[in-house]
Amino acid sequence: MPPHHTRLRVRYAETDQMGVVYYANYLVWMEVARVELCKTLGFNYRDMEQEDGVLLAVVEAHCRYRYPARFDDEVIVETSVADAHSRAVEFHYEMSLADGSRRLATGSTRHIFCNRQMEPVRLPAKYRAMFGIER
């Protein structure tokens, strides 16, 4: 499946005393892009939580910072499903300036599918094809 592109504009509140985007905001951008990717895959993440009781719990997050983003920069977060099976999914992210001049960061997050009690569950069959899971 092709990657999804989410456009964001750096808000002043996302920058630190040095005038660059505070490092933790890249993880927030990953989350925003992940939710948008789910919509392009054919479902609303909120509905999966509310209707099916399935949550995506982060078990690992990685971000490699390459170049600083600054206030009012337009950023594109390219998001894709790197790996998925019925119990877990891994997403890959590449964040770049919208004009294509700089790669800002790359990252990944690994998630397990779980219920509201935070117990691991299998992804319901109706979502599997959307994540590229064949069985």
Could you identify the residue written with the tokens 């592109």? 5
Contact 90, 30 (CB under 8 A): no
Q: Which of 16, 47, 72, 83 is catalytic?
A: 16
Single-letter residue type at 83: D
List, in sequence order, every residue forming a beta bridge with 10; answer none if it has no partner.
none
Residue 106 makes CB contacts below 8 A (sequence gap 6+) with: 63, 64, 66, 92, 93, 94, 95
Q: Is 72 a catalytic residue?
A: no
Residues known to be catalytic: 16
